[in-house]
Amino acid sequence: MHDPLIRSRAVALARSGASHAEIGRLLDIPSGTIGYWVRLDGLPSAAPARPAHRPCPRCDDSDLDQAAYAYLLGLYLGDGHITRSGRTYVLRIACGTAWPGLIRACERAITAIRPANRVCRARKQGCVLVTAYSNHWPCVFPQHGPGRKHERAIVLEPWQRSVVSAHRWEFVRGLIHSDGCRVVNRTTKTIAGEPKRYEYPRYFFTNTSDDIIGLFTGTLDALGVEWKHLNQRRAAQTVSVARRGSVALMDAHVGAKY
């Protein structure tokens, strides 16, 4: 017997347009079992298999939670991707299992943008894929396209630039929470013959896309945060924020993942 919660979750995903095979992979349940549950759910006493129209902030000009969107955009540009799944699209954001607070924040942001769509988790080795199905993900994230992000142009549309300009810190927080981190450097210096230990925090952001790096550093410039590129022998670029005043700003508005 399967947990009733798993069954209701599978049926809800099917109503959202996910294929039985996709749901089976997500929940580790045979697709035939998913089909059986869906057929049972189609009895007259059950809810209709197809949901009513769910307004899209782009297609229908419905309300958009701009702060949540700016944060989710940062997460998507860092560790997110959109793929076709049967008749619909699926958004997945990879979140490290070490950061349960990040997973919850990602779920809240997705729910704020698509409140009528179910958000679920798929556990993978070392991470959790926060997942939601919607026909409108390409409308919400027009940066979706074939290939990896660093192999194509990533340019924000005018409406996205307007949202980011109004919620710069949320955008930076999403980028840091996806492809960045806050660390504490420790060093020892000899002062007047005595070794003294020093600790100082700093932020890093690493990405392979020149465009995404430019979006990050351009937003930091607008916020008055000082940064610099690290010299590295690899394709990915790393931006460091180490100045005390700039780190204090980042701590006040971004903070470490948790």
Over residues 105-121, the pLDDT tens digits come to: 999 999 999 988 889 99
Q: Kindly give, in sequence order, each residue whose CB lies less than 8 Å from that of residue 151, ignoring residues fewer than 6 positions away.
A: none
Q: How many residues does the chain have?
A: 258
Q: Is 95:78 a contact under the CB 8 Å cutoff?
A: no
Amino acid 232: pLDDT: 79
In 3D space, the residue among 190, 186, 253 whose CA is nearest the CA of residue 223 turns out to be: 253
In 3D space, the residue among 93, 86, 209, 210 whose CA is nearest the CA of residue 140 turns out to be: 93
Per-residue pLDDT tens for 218-232?
Answer: 999 999 999 999 987
Q: Which of 3-12, 48-57, 60-69, 160-169 has the highest mean pLDDT?
A: 160-169
Whether 49 shows a pLDDT value over 70: the answer reads: no
Q: Which of 29-38, 60-69, 88-97 has the highest mean pLDDT?
A: 88-97
Q: Which of 5-14, 161-170, 192-201 has the highest mean pLDDT?
A: 161-170
Average pLDDT, the chain: 87
Amino acid 1: pLDDT: 58
The mean pLDDT of 203-219, rounded to a whole number, is 97
- Lowest mean pLDDT across 29-43, 120-134, 240-254: 29-43
Position 44 confidence tier, pLDDT thresholds 50, 70, 90:
very low
Q: Which of 132-141, 190-199, 231-240 has the highest mean pLDDT?
A: 132-141
Distance (Å) of CA 148 to CA 62, 73, 80, 83, 164: 30, 16, 11, 12, 23
The mean pLDDT of 54-74, rounded to a whole number, is 88
